[in-house]
């Protein structure tokens, strides 16, 4: 009898000890939003390219977690660090045991442990080694039902400094086209096929972005900051393009932009030999104009022209005229930059393009890009007066 009582007491003790640990493993699952911090030391976190991003964490039952701010490996003591920054993604492993939560840091490849001070279904408080307290609250990201998107184009524009300048097209089939212009770990034109899992993650992530509700322009009242444009495409048609100066757009959109613009760093890239890419911004006829004022729209047209059919040159007059800029040699005298411009004639489907040697090639896109995307509008400039030339943003 005494032996049975002792056994029951031991069993009860085990159950009591295990229950909080099991409950912690259950309560930790889901998304958490960082709420506040009580700092007990002067230790400062290293800067990352997306300082305004909220610190959201999602824990999964398979021992993996998502840090929605992402992980960046930034070289030490390098004034031009952004062109060497490695993006390590958002996902890593975690372990929870009793009152300890350990998160794998992909940058150092080590687990960083914190004490679980409080863990309920709606509150998580962690104490770090320096005794700082981090409070998180339960968060459920809002879900949106968007138009079916099959391609996304992201273009990152220059800033006053070494911000990466690049353009990316990703399709829902995993087809990637990347153009690294400046301050990237890869420069030039590349194509790749992205894994099914990563592609699904990108396009499923659209459910947290309210595409229809997004403004067309977001801007910060400061100078010299980077700009980004993103274009959503459905069934070959531009659904919406958003311009973001200074990272003022909603977080989930900025997160999508980040994850797409760094895809090239983890892809099996195949180099494309492309001289003088046809990147044009404005085309005009006597009465109408087409303004591809957003780089992502221009890059989308360029990506479509890569797959256009070559046809024999025709004497038929094409109503729209534009220009593009040849690759510039080093130490270019910008007083002579007009020598590196070439003309384009088009009706939106047929593109007659002047080459470096001033001969022409003609491409048939197979459909009218301008009409499909409703890009034509009445011309705002008198005949004979040129529109502002934005081609310099594409020069190397």
Q: Structure pTM?
A: 0.85
**What confidence category does residue 137 fall into, taking pLDDT thresholds of 50, 70 and 90?**
very high
CB atoms within 10 A of CB 320: 20
Which residue reads 């295990």 in tokens?
A: 18
Tens digits of residue pLDDT in 214-262: 999 998 888 888 899 999 999 999 999 999 998 889 999 999 999 999 9
Rounded mean pLDDT, 114-123? 94
| CA separation for the pair 368, 136 (Å, rounded) | 51
Fold of the 2-139 domain: Lipocalin (2.40.128)
Please answer whether residues 325 and 345 qualify as being in contact, where contact means their C-beta atoms are separated by less than 8 angstroms: no
Both ends of the chain: CA-CA distance in Å?
Answer: 87
- Cα 380 to Cα 131, 217, 279, 287, 372: the distances in Å are 62, 21, 22, 9, 22
**CATH code of domain 151-272:** 3.30.1560
Task: Indicate where the chain has its CATH 3.30.1560 domain(s).
Answer: 151-272
Tens digits of residue pLDDT in 64-88: 999 999 999 987 766 555 678 899 9
Task: Indicate where the chain has its CATH 2.40.128.280 domain(s).
Answer: 2-139
| CA separation for the pair 274, 395 (Å, rounded) | 14
- Extract long-range pairs of 286-289: CB within 8 Å, 24+ residues apart: 286/319, 286/379, 286/383, 287/378, 287/379, 288/319, 288/320, 288/376, 288/377, 288/378, 288/379, 289/376, 289/377, 289/378, 289/379, 289/380, 289/381, 289/387
Residue 247 tokens read as 């990272």
């Amino acid at each position: 009898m005494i032996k049975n009582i002792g056994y029951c007491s031991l069993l009860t003790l085990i159950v009591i000890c295990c229950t909080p640990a099991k409950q912690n493993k259950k309560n930790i699952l889901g998304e958490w939003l960082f709420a506040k911090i009580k700092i007990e030391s002067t230790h400062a976190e290293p800067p990352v390219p997306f300082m305004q991003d909220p610190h959201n964490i999602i824990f999964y039952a398979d021992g993996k977690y998502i840090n929605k701010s992402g992980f960046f490996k930034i070289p030490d003591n390098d004034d031009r660090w952004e062109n060497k920054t490695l993006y390590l993604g958002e996902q890593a492993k975690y372990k929870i045991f009793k009152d300890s939560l350990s998160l794998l840091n992909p940058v150092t490849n080590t687990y960083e442990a914190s004490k679980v001070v409080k863990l309920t279904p709606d509150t998580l408080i962690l104490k770090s080694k320096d005794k700082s307290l981090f409070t998180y609250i339960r968060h459920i990201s809002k879900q949106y039902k968007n138009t079916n998107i099959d391609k996304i184009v992201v273009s990152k524009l220059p800033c006053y400094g070494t911000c990466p300048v690049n353009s990316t097209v990703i399709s829902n089939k995993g087809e990637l086209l990347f153009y690294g212009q400046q301050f990237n770990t890869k420069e030039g034109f590349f194509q790749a096929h992205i894994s099914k899992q990563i592609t699904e993650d990108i396009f499923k992530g659209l459910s947290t972005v309210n595409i229809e509700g997004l403004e067309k322009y977001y801007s910060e009242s400061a100078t010299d900051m980077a700009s980004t444009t993103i274009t959503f495409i459905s069934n070959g048609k531009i659904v919406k393009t958003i311009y973001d100066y200074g990272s003022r757009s909603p977080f989930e959109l900025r997160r999508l932009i980040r994850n797409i613009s760094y895809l090239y760093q983890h892809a099996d890239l195949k180099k494309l030999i492309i001289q003088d890419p046809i990147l044009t911004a404005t085309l005009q006829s006597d009465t109408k104009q087409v303004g591809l004022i957003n780089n992502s729209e221009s890059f989308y047209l360029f990506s479509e022209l890569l797959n256009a059919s070559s046809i024999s040159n025709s004497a038929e007059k094409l109503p729209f005229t534009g220009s593009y800029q040849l690759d510039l040699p080093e130490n270019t005298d910008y007083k002579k930059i007009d020598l590196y411009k070439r003309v384009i004639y088009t009706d939106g489907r047929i593109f007659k393009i002047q080459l470096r040697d001033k001969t022409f090639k003609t491409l048939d896109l197979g459909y009218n890009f301008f009409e499909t995307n409703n890009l034509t509008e009445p011309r705002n400039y008198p005949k004979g007066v040129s529109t502002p030339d934005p081609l310099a943003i594409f020069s190397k």
